[in-house]
Amino acid sequence: MKLSSINYLVGKGISSVWKNKMMSFASFCIMLVSLLMVGISVLASININKIISGIEGKNEVIVIVKDGTTDEAITALGTSIKDIKNVDTVTFYSREDAWQSMIDDMTKQEQELFQYAEGDNPLPDTYKVSVKNIEKMADTTNRMSTLEGVESVKASNEFADVLISVRNIFSVIALAVVIALIIVCLVIISNTTRTSVFARRKEINIMKYVGATNKFIKIPFQIEGTIVGLLAAVAAFILTMFVYRGAANLIQDNYQILTILGVDSLYSFRDILIPVGIAYLVAGAVIGAIGTTISTSKYVKV
């Protein structure tokens, strides 16, 4: 195709957006709402998954060291725990640190009662361990319990199982909702675009009768659809930014108790700004172009 033809088709597509402003505006609104629905659903999904991951990260394993274990053996035990593949972090708490922490949490009267027992500290040396994958929690704790110098291992395996079930169920539901929204949006957008193309069917038929190829007819419509899609994507991105930041601030300011469960680990919009913007632009351009192409196919067959 010649450069002059390309310039003509691009100019034709751009001018069609303004010439058919009512239908373009209708397509713009439909695509805007559709992109917002899918975009906000996806953002909600990834943040809930992150919150669940944050809760998983707080699920620690306590390894109690046998009384009378030497310092060298305790150090070796810590090394052995770190060597377990599923272990993320290992923190040692001596019996003295544990005693001091307990005393610090007491009232003054309670401290006076316990000050005479300081020389007979009943608390054990412990390791606090966080795991990478709670699905392997049981296997990991079993391996820790077999290490030399370990008195016992305390872990909330039941809680881990509940988290795994919640995460799996939510992932399936979130995927189904997003797929359903995408299908509904594509159907709505396709019908809206088909209405726009139907309004100009006579123009398409005239171009076909005078010898224009199908490709030559479709390109201006594709460019028009792409432009409308990009405009809708920009608007959807701006609205998403304000809605996301407002919702995040509302949650973090008014539901402090949820911070314990990992809500403080919500993604900052600044961190996801670029991928979200690119996703909106690509989705808007592709959906606009494909929707228009599908809709014009019927009217170029004359």
pLDDT digits (tens, 9 = 90+) for 136-165: 888 888 888 888 888 888 877 666 677 677
- SS3 label, residue 127: strand
- Domain spans, the chain: 3-55+162-297, 60-155
Quote the pLDDT of residue 165: 78
**Could you give the CA distance from residue 114 to residue 248 in angstroms, rounded to a whole number?**
45
Average pLDDT, the chain: 75
**Could you give the CA distance from residue 270 to residue 46 in angstroms, rounded to a whole number?**
15
Is the per-residue pLDDT at 110 higher than 70?
no
Would you say 10 and 221 are in contact if contact means Cβ atoms under 8 Å apart?
Answer: no
DSSP result, 145-207: HTSTTEEEEE--HHHHHHHHHHHHHHHHHHHHHHHHHHHHHHHHHHHHHHHHHHTTHHHHHHH
**Could you give the CA distance from residue 189 to residue 271 in angstroms, rounded to a whole number?**
30
CATH class of this structure's domain 60-155? alpha beta
Nearest CA to 247 out of 68, 48, 53 is that of: 48
Rounded to an integer, the average pLDDT of 84-91 is 85
- SS3 label, residue 117: helix
Q: 220 or 103: whose pLDDT is higher?
A: 220
Local confidence band at 238 (pLDDT 50, 70, 90 cut-offs) = very high
Is the per-residue pLDDT at 298 higher than 70?
no
Would you say 73 and 288 are in contact if contact means Cβ atoms under 8 Å apart?
Answer: no
**Could you give the CA distance from residue 17 to residue 12 in angstroms, rounded to a whole number?**
9
Local confidence band at 190 (pLDDT 50, 70, 90 cut-offs) = low
Quote the pLDDT of residue 196: 65
Is the per-residue pLDDT at 257 higher than 90?
no
Quote the pLDDT of residue 235: 93
Per-residue pLDDT tens for 39-82? 888 888 788 777 776 666 666 788 888 888 888 888 888 888 88
Residue with tokens 């395996």: 157
**Could you give the CA distance from residue 117 to residue 175 in angstroms, rounded to a whole number?**
57
